[in-house]
Amino acid sequence: MASSHSWTLASLPLLLALTGLSAGKPSPSDWDALNQAVQGRLFQGVPFARPCFAEGFNSTDCLAVRSSYVDEVARSNVASAYIQTQWETCQTTAEGCLLSWTNPNDMSPTLPPNQCLLGSVPQYFIDVRNAQDVAEAFNFSRTTKMPLVIKNTGHDYKGRSSAPNSLALWTHNLKDISYTPAFVPEGCSAASPGVTVGAGVQWADAYAFAESNNITLVGGSDRSVGVSGGWLQGGGHSALSNTMGLGVDRVLQFKVVTPDGVYRTANACQNQDLFFALRGGGGGTFGVVLESTILASPPVTLQAVIVSFTSNTSTTQELWTILAENGLKWAEEGWGGFSQAGIAIMINPRLSQNETATSMAPLIEFGQRLQNEGVANASTVVTQFPTFGTFFNAFTAEHVSLVGTNMAEASRMVSKDNFATAADRSALVSALLAADAATPGLLILLTTPYSYPSDGQTSVTDAWRSSLYHVTVVSTWEWNATGAQKKAAYSAASASIDNLRKITPDAAYVNESDVYEPNHEVAFWGTHYAKLLQIKQKYDPDHLLDCWHCVGWDSTSPRFACYM
């Protein structure tokens, strides 16, 4: 694939003409000065699919794009590629440069009158390698009014790492990782085992590192997600969160460049307000995190029960009824996992094999009955994984999030109160079935920190602690969808999750929520929003950082012009 760095400042007017965008406020000399200040690591955004338009559909570079179009790792390694492709486009003007995610080998998206335009891909990127790079970018933004975004992998369902006519700080190449058995946060005295990761480290890398060092890291279920970015700063949930906490519960220290250009250390002993904000206040808001140190735990042996089958409404209703009937008990016993129509994957780091057989008897017996009845593809697996890393490798081999798609997502937290009575549980199952019927693919994530007490210093909504489920729904559209069809997809996701909104408290996970989440300040942060807003105003009085539904966002900003 052609290098995205292959440009010169002299070619600026031509390149801007090709993208259909204006140069904005900075002059060519401004860009030249910035490029020199960051040691030549300023480069222009180039749409991921551009070779298929500019070089021919069967060119070598286009073939590389086509073969990796729905590959999350390949996309995460390209600065201007995004996991969900509507964030590479301007949805309001239809400007973009996409292939068909249902068939990347279809040539029709590249044929006239279709064009390859920059859409909402940032005009320029800085390949960030140190704190000075970030400080230079903040100064540039302050003096030229050029909007900034922060991007690592592009794994953002709400488009916060892209914006038209913007400058992106690409942190993806900060790949350092180290393990300190007795890590002491700066200015503190207590030691804990910790792993320090650069902002570009992804969970697949971190889990492999953990395996090689005989430790456990609690992280996401998607290999391409970054450890230190939006996942962590927005809360960060895991199949181990019930017993071992959210990502924000386990972070020991951040190293962050705040908008005044100062490289700060934030932990429990210094810059505690910033530490609080970064522990759940959302990425792209309070500064640019260049590294984080997270708690490392001893290895855990996982008991696992996996029941799968070709689903229909009746069997899925029975599966989800079993999950609901046992929800409180299983949460208290330490179970986490995932369920969709036709499958439940449950893991537990606390119980023994014998205890698992007793605890999970209702689910195991259900799976075995389906097998005995000859239900298509029915399978019941009761097994043990020696480490979380081995479970992760087995799980991700078969379960990968949608990649390269245009996709609207919405989510809801399901409170323990929804499991209190038979009527509550019945209403919950009915709501889940209705949502799945409206937008097939509903995912129940048993990833809340129900059994893990808060230290009172995280800024995520407190509803995480009193919830048993985090539920997501999605709605997709094709590369050539009309504006009305895109709006309909967002509306469909929102209407689908309304089935759960009607019976649950006002709480949703910021990173996987409805792009048009109503009352989002309360839904994401509960009672913490006012304090977060004060911290935002303290560290970013010039409002250099802004993103959709982030703390203190300015909904009228031109950077949001491409949202529907």
Does a structural domain hold residue 127?
A: yes
- CA dihedral (221, 237, 513, 203) positive or negative: negative
Q: What is the dihedral of CA 286, 506, 500, 85, to 10 degrees?
A: -20
CA atoms within 13 A on the CB side of 457: 15
- Please determine, for residue 7, whether its predicted confidence score (pLDDT) is greater than 80: no
Pick from 154, 5, 173, 150: which is nearest to 72 by CA? Answer: 154
pLDDT computed for residue 397 by the predictor? 64
pLDDT in tens, 340-380: 999 999 999 999 999 999 999 999 999 999 999 999 999 99
Instruction: Say yes or no: 98 and 138 in one domain.
Output: yes
- Please determine, for residue 163, whether its predicted confidence score (pLDDT) is greater than 80: yes
Instruction: Say yes or no: 539 and 429 in one domain.
Output: no
CA–CA distance, 165 with 156 (Å, rounded to integer):
19
Residue type, 292: S
Which of 149, 170, 191 is where one domain is finished? 170
Long-range (24+ apart) CB contacts under 8 A made by 183-189 are: 183/252, 183/293, 185/252, 185/253, 185/265, 185/267, 185/268, 185/269, 185/293, 186/253, 186/265, 186/267, 186/269, 186/270, 187/265, 187/267, 187/269, 187/270, 188/267, 188/268, 188/269
Whether 212 contacts 295, CB under 8 Å: no
Instruction: Say yes or no: 536 and 426 in one domain.
Output: no
Instruction: Say yes or no: 554 and 451 in one domain.
Output: no
Does a structural domain hold residue 4?
A: no
Average pLDDT over all residues of the chain: 94
Give the H/E segment covering residue 483: helix 483-501
CA–CA distance, 212 with 425 (Å, rounded to integer):
43
Q: Which two tokens stand for residue 392?
A: 């992760």
Measured N-to-C along each axis, helices 313-325 and 422-438 cross at an angle, to the nearest 10 degrees, of: 140
* Burial of 344 (C-beta count, 10 Å sphere; 0-12/13-18/19+): buried
Instruction: Say yes or no: 143 and 218 in one domain.
Output: no
Which of 170, 188, 203 is where one domain is finished? 170
| One-character DSSP codes across 276-315 | HHHTTS-TTSS-EEEEEEEE-B----EEEEEEE----HHH
Does a structural domain hold residue 53?
A: yes
Pick from 294, 191, 195: which is nearest to 247 by CA? Answer: 294
- Please determine, for residue 453, whether its predicted confidence score (pLDDT) is greater than 70: yes
Does a structural domain hold residue 90?
A: yes
- Please determine, for residue 10, whether its predicted confidence score (pLDDT) is greater than 60: no
**Alpha helices of 179-326 — where are they, by DSSP H?**
203-212, 230-233, 241-244, 247-250, 272-278, 313-325
* Burial of 60 (C-beta count, 10 Å sphere; 0-12/13-18/19+): exposed
CATH number at residue 319: 3.40.462.20
Q: DSSP 3-state assignment of 384?
A: strand
> At CA 454, angle to CA 551 and CA 230, rounded to 5?
35
Whether 435 contacts 497, CB under 8 Å: yes
Q: Range of 186's domain?
A: 177-299+526-560
The total number of residues written for the chain in this structure: 564
pLDDT in tens, 52-61: 999 999 999 9
Q: DSSP 3-state assignment of 506?
A: coil
Does a structural domain hold residue 369?
A: yes
CA atoms within 13 A on the CB side of 282: 33
**Alpha helices of 107-263 — where are they, by DSSP H?**
131-144, 203-212, 230-233, 241-244, 247-250
Instruction: Say yes or no: 445 and 347 in one domain.
Output: yes
CA distances from 411 to 125, 180, 243, 452 (A): 31, 36, 22, 22
pLDDT computed for residue 336 by the predictor? 98
Work out whether strand 42-44 and strand 192-198 pair parallel, antiparallel, or are unpaired. unpaired
Instruction: Say yes or no: 260 and 232 in one domain.
Output: yes
Whether 448 contacts 442, CB under 8 Å: no
CATH number at residue 533: 3.30.465.10
User: Residue 172 — very low, low, confident or very high, per pLDDT cuts 50/70/90?
Assistant: very high
Instruction: Say yes or no: 103 and 241 in one domain.
Output: no
Residue 268 CB: number of other CB atoms within 10 A?
16
Q: Does the model's pTM come out above 0.85?
A: yes
Whether 257 contacts 238, CB under 8 Å: no
Instruction: Say yes or no: 162 and 182 in one domain.
Output: no
Residue 108 CB: number of other CB atoms within 10 A?
12
Rounded to 5 degrees, what are φ and ψ at 534? -60, -45
Which of residues 431 and 18 earns the better pLDDT score?
Answer: 431
pLDDT mean over 72-76 = 94
CA–CA distance, 540 with 138 (Å, rounded to integer):
10
CA distances from 180 to 184, 206, 245, 296, 299 (A): 9, 14, 20, 9, 16
Which of 133, 152, 170 is where one domain is finished? 170
Pick from 294, 289, 297: which is nearest to 194 by CA? Answer: 294
pLDDT mean over 115-124 = 97
pLDDT computed for residue 396 by the predictor? 74
Residue type, 154: G
pLDDT in tens, 501-536: 999 999 999 999 999 999 999 999 999 999 999 999
pLDDT in tens, 385-421: 999 999 999 987 677 788 999 999 999 999 999 999 9
- Please determine, for residue 8, whether its predicted confidence score (pLDDT) is greater than 70: no
pLDDT mean over 207-211 = 97
Does a structural domain hold residue 2?
A: no
Instruction: Say yes or no: 508 and 535 in one domain.
Output: no
First to last CA, the chain: 31
User: Residue 14 — very low, low, confident or very high, per pLDDT cuts 50/70/90?
Assistant: very low
For the chain, how many structural domains are there in total? 3
CA–CA distance, 190 with 84 (Å, rounded to integer):
42
pLDDT computed for residue 395 by the predictor? 82
Q: Which two tokens stand for residue 312?
A: 């229909």
pLDDT computed for residue 402 by the predictor? 87
Instruction: Say yes or no: 531 and 512 in one domain.
Output: no
- CA dihedral (234, 238, 242, 244) positive or negative: negative
Instruction: Say yes or no: 372 and 415 in one domain.
Output: yes
Does a structural domain hold residue 94?
A: yes
CA distances from 316 to 322, 341, 411 (A): 10, 5, 20
CA–CA distance, 472 with 500 (Å, rounded to integer):
10
pLDDT in tens, 177-194: 999 999 999 999 999 999
CA distances from 155 to 159, 195, 399, 474, 500 (A): 9, 22, 16, 15, 25
Does a structural domain hold residue 3?
A: no
pLDDT mean over 79-104 = 97
The single residue listed with the structure tokens 């804990």 is 192
pLDDT computed for residue 43 by the predictor? 98
CA–CA distance, 442 with 463 (Å, rounded to integer):
21
pLDDT in tens, 465-475: 999 999 999 99
